[in-house]
Homo-oligomer: A and B are copies of this chain.
Amino acid sequence: MTKPPIPEPHRTLTLRDVSEASGVSEMTVSRVLRNRGDVSEATREKVLEAARRLGYVPNKIAGALASQRVNLVGVVIPSLSNMVFPEVMTGISKTLEDTGLQPVVGVSNYQSEREEQVIYEMLSWRPSGLIVAGLEHSEAARAMLAQAGVPIVEIMDIDGTPVDSMVGISHRRAGRKMAEAIVAAGYRKIAFLGTHMPTNDHRARKRLEGFEEALAAAGLSLVDREFYSGGSALAKGREMTEALLKRRPDVDFLYYSNDMIGAGGLLWCLEQGLDVPGRIGLAGFNGVELLDGLPRRLATMDACRLETGVAAAEIIAGKRHSGVIGGEVIEFEPKLQPGDTIRKV
């Protein structure tokens, strides 16, 4: 009873083709394919069979235009190669999975101008919502977001004013907490190693600001600092650590702006036979899973990335019954993971 497949070379199929092939109206086909409204079992079968046989794939562009609904959620992040963002994505994807919404990723490469373009591009597809990393955007970008008429969630930072909602941790606070832990453990000659920041990474900058604030409160200040950009983070961590300790052999603590360079530094210190955490302590930032396999667990601070992704997606999906109409603020508490590279008090 199966009719032969239709060989028709190439005109892209429309609802009409399926409608003709199955002998019902386009509307009925549309209903079947979307599982909407009442359709008799017999008709449903007939339509599905025809659609399958033809290899019909609905045109969501037309559907979206007609229904004024788009099941996409834009996600704008600075980079994919950072390991940090994929984890946020995981939280977002998981949460959206059963909502019919689909995340679409855009990458800004830490460039504000590029970010603006990406946001423009995304909004022009009229998504159901937008998740954007960070609170710092160009003025035009902020204006677009504010105008968009859909939920906007800025994530991974809450030190600032959001356009709409924001979810994440306070990096300033995270930096402060880490400094306090380090000082409490008795370290006094503390140095910082991180990315070149002024242009790029606002979150790393805020972390450092908080860190220095807390040092100042303890009557201390950074004794040295070292910056890098580009290249393999692990290798850079090594090089920077070596350079810094050659220059300032008296330093007794190294605070890294991320775990990867911290791991590089740790490997170098261990190879040199330095007593970690006795002679020198180390700490990074992020709680990357990767670190589990290192010879010693690097002290770090969890940035609650998974939770952040989940909460952001929930706001967009309207799963959060907070009573608040938009403009939610969700702060997570960064957790210190002392690991084995900071003295126990």
Contacts and interface: CB of A to CB of B under 8 A. Distances in A.
Contact of A232 (B57, B267, B293): B293
Contact of A292 (B60, B89, B93, B235): B235
B61 A289 contact: no
A265 to B, nearest CB: 10
Q: List the 5 closest pairs (A to B, CB-CB), nearest first.
A: A234-B293, A235-B293, A232-B292, A235-B292, A80-B86
Given A83-B81, A87-B81, A144 B57 contact: yes
Interface in A26-56: 55
Contacts of A93: 107
A58 B126 CA distance: 9
Contacts of A295: 267, 271
Q: Copies of this chain, how many? A: 2
A10 B149 contact: yes
A303 interface: no
A90 interface: yes
A238 B294 CA distance: 9
A222 to B, nearest CB: 24
Interface residues of A, number: 55
A125 B60 contact: yes
Interface of A: 10, 12, 55, 57-62, 64-65, 70, 80-81, 83, 86-87, 89-90, 93, 102, 104-105, 107, 120-121, 123-126, 143-144, 147-149, 231-238, 260, 263-264, 267, 271, 289-295
A61 B57 contact: no
A149 B12 contact: yes
Contacts of A143: 55
26 contacts: A12-B149, A57-B148, A59-B126, A62-B65, A65-B65, A81-B86, A81-B87, A81-B90, A83-B83, A86-B86, A89-B107, A93-B107, A104-B105, A105-B105, A231-B292, A232-B289, A232-B291, A234-B290, A234-B291, A234-B293, A234-B294, A260-B290, A267-B293, A267-B294, A267-B295, A271-B295
Contacts of A149: 10, 12
Contacts of A125: 60-61
Contacts of A124: 57-60
Given A238-B293, A293-B235, A123 B57 contact: yes
